[in-house]
Amino acid sequence: MSDSFHRPPKIPRWIVQRILPRTERMFLSGDFDEIYNSIYREKGRMKADIWYWLQVVQSLPKVLFNSFYWSFVMLKNYLKITLRHLQRQKGYSLINIAGLSVGMACFILIILFIKYEFSYEEHHANADRIYKIYVEHHLPTGVNKIRSSPVPLVETLHNEIPEIQDFTRMQTIGNPLVRYDDRGFYEDGLVFVDPGILTMFSFHFVAGDKEQALKDKNSAVLTEDMAVKYFGRENPIGKSLVLNNRLSILVNGVMRNHPENSNIQPDILISFSTIEDIAGQEYMTNWLTQIVQSYILVPEHTSVPHLEEKIQAAFKKHVRENDDRILKLDKFSRMHLYSELEDTGDIKTIYIFMAIGFLIILTACINFMNLATARSVKRAKEVGLRKVVGAVRGQLIKQFIGESAVFSALSLFLALILVFLFLPTLNNLTGQFVRFEDLGRAEIILSLFGIVFLVGFLSGSYPALFLSAFQPANVLKGTLKSGTKGGLFRKILVVAQFSISIILIVCTIILSKQLHYIQNRPLGFKKDQIVVIRNSDRRRNLAPLKEELLRNPKISGVTCSLQLPSSIGMYNNVTWEGAVGDKQIEIIHNRVDYDFLDTYEIELLAGRNFSKEYPSDTQRGIDQNSTRSIIINEEAVRRFGWKEPVGKRVIQVYGERRIYFTVIGVIKDFHFSSLRNPIKPMNFFLSLDSNRYISVKVLSQDISGTLKFIEESWKKLAPESPIEYFFLDTVFGRRYRSEERLQRLFGYFSGLAIFIACLGLFGLASFAAEQRTKEIGIRKVLGASETSLIILLSKEFTLLVLIANLAAWPLAYLAMRNWLEGFAYRIQLNNHLGFFLLASAVALVIAWLTVSFQAIKASLVNPIDSLRYE
């Protein structure tokens, strides 16, 4: 045989390379190779391979046992050393654990918040297969998206397009009165739906036949709460409810209450065919008006663009040729966070809180890194001795990262206690229903382990690399210095900490300022001391009620309208006198009575108000010679391009029909929707019936007595209907609730970030004072005053905080400018740069007070004790 080298089998040789200790790997591996080649030459390859495999099999258990045993011994040793450091350095350990605990608690709360937001509609098994149909209008001013669609649309599409497996329409009719015997309530959760809703959505039945429950006209399904509300302990199946005192509804099913993390939460489902008895046959065949919410169920992996094309083609067959509406699909499972049409969650808010959570946990990790590297000299001899007795750098890195993992695990335990204590506060701020038990979910548990690993690695990585790099010779000679590199890194970390804190403070202040601006900006009408009564029966004659109410001297005005000035949302397409070609725009409209402008103090700029002296105010505008009077706002005048609007014609386009209006007055623009949106063109026309709301302006004296009078007056008019009223200003309190919550959360988190940063600064200042103990003693002996010593110890940290301000300003400015762009009406950020200085001053004062505490403490020490300090 040849004397050349024969390589052992790949797999056992690879195992040998992995299991042998690193210090013995080269020698033992070489011995194995020599013996293998000797057997190969004497007995052949097969026997050599068998020998090699036997050595691996025999050695593996012992090597693995030794590896685990000594790893356990080292782990035990590292843990013991860590606990000793905790005991010996109680102050610094407390600062580290407190900072990490608060940071991790914030991070966990934010994870729970985000997880809850992403959990919306998860309980619906078909959530990824359900789509909502919405309508787009492409206008010169942009794309207008409408979340509703024509009544006959979705049923027609289901019949003509095979991909649409099922459908449902959802339609509300305000707050109808629902009665059973002597119990009557106005319900805002009553929805008319098609039977498909019960198969598309995961509504779980507790009574009744799910497949048949909504098949028939005048049938209904209730939630458990509604069943108890109306029937108590009685079996509701087969019993009847009365809708608006005239329509009998048979209860065929009871379903479980809906989970809180859902935007589809109807309390009473009524078969859609029932609505024909209320609105008439014309309503069911109207392709022009978008009034219902339409949902479809499609197979998995359906091509949405292709399906949209088929839907558009089917739609075009049933409308006029020049109909410019475009139908689009919105995925149900994504609607809560990603939809531009629904007023629900917002993915931008999720991104904001992800960033806040990361910044706060980063701030806590910076504390640990700062204090660990600052106190590195204290552990230099330990590192040197370990290296002398054979420890390699990798082992030291593992040790120090392991120590930080122990700190992280202890902090996690305390963080969970903080989460338990403050979870109700988070729910109160966000309006969520997160439970502490949610932490037991598999994905949350994995996240918690991930937090421990992440925090342990982040906070221990730099100290581990820094300490493990010490040279044993320098350490044992006593020539090791902390060096400029570690000091510079600590300064950078302090700047980063306070930059984060200042950014959060600036954002909190700007959020508060914008919130105050939108809450207090003049709306163009009076909203205070307006009591609004809901009228469930629009056929009811409200004139006697108005007369009765106005007899009370504490009531200064009463008006009836289809919609309130705070929420006008109905619109029509119109063209106008002087329009170029067939140009049209969308115009918002409202029906009001004679007293609407006066009651709400809306300013009339030109022309006149509606008046009983002008019969044309009420006549139908069926042709150019028979026009109806309207009042328009300034924005409509601008869009029409008119200089003298009074007397001009506006033509409402309703399919092939044209309805003609004459402008009799122009009102000043007022905000009838959120200040996130610009004011749109609007018109009022006179309506003395079919009004949904009665607005009553009351004086500030004896409001409770006035409310009692209103209730008694209502009972005279409608004894069969309970009164439901509210103050108009409460609507505005709810309108900006999301911004208010965001501002409060920013306030809390910025305060916690400052607290964590100050903990770290406190520790660093304490360490700096400790390191300069002898210097302070010498300076005091030489006559230095306590004030000069305080300035000496504080000026470095003061400079770092000032640098942090300069780093934070541009980032905070860009973040707030981007957020403010979401509002059509907003503060001018360039006019409020003083708030940046205010945030800087707040951070500087807090930091200076933190450092000064340690500086004052050090300056008051007896110089004799300082000179004796070691």
Q: How many CA atoms lie within 13 A of 243 on its CB side?
A: 25
Partnered with residue 658 across adjacent β-strands are 653
Question: What is the model's pTM?
Answer: 0.78
Structure tokens at 446: 């994995």
* Residue 237 per-residue DSSP state: T
CA 357 to chain CA mean position, Å: 13
**pLDDT for residue 392:** 67
Sorted by sequence, the CB contacts under 8 Å of residue 288 that are 6+ apart come out as: 150, 319, 654, 655
Bridge pairing between strands 247-255 and 205-208: antiparallel
Grouping H, G, I as helix, E, B as strand and the rest as coil, residue 96 is helix
Q: d(Cα 378, Cα 466) in Å, to the nearest integer? A: 13
**pLDDT for residue 291:** 86
Segments of the chain scoring below 70 in pLDDT: 1-4, 17-29, 31, 63-78, 82, 85-86, 89, 139-142, 372-382, 385-387, 389-395, 462-464, 466-487, 620-626, 655, 733, 764-774, 776, 854-855, 857-870
* Residue 234 per-residue DSSP state: S
Contact indicator for 147, 342 with CB cutoff of 8 Å: yes
Phi-psi sector, 819: left (phi>0), alpha (psi -120 to 50), beta: alpha
Grouping H, G, I as helix, E, B as strand and the rest as coil, residue 127 is helix
Q: d(Cα 626, Cα 608) in Å, to the nearest integer? A: 19
Grouping H, G, I as helix, E, B as strand and the rest as coil, residue 716 is helix
**pLDDT for residue 222:** 95
Which DSSP string corresponds to 318-352?
TS-TT---EEEEEEGGGHHHH-SSSSS--HHHHHH
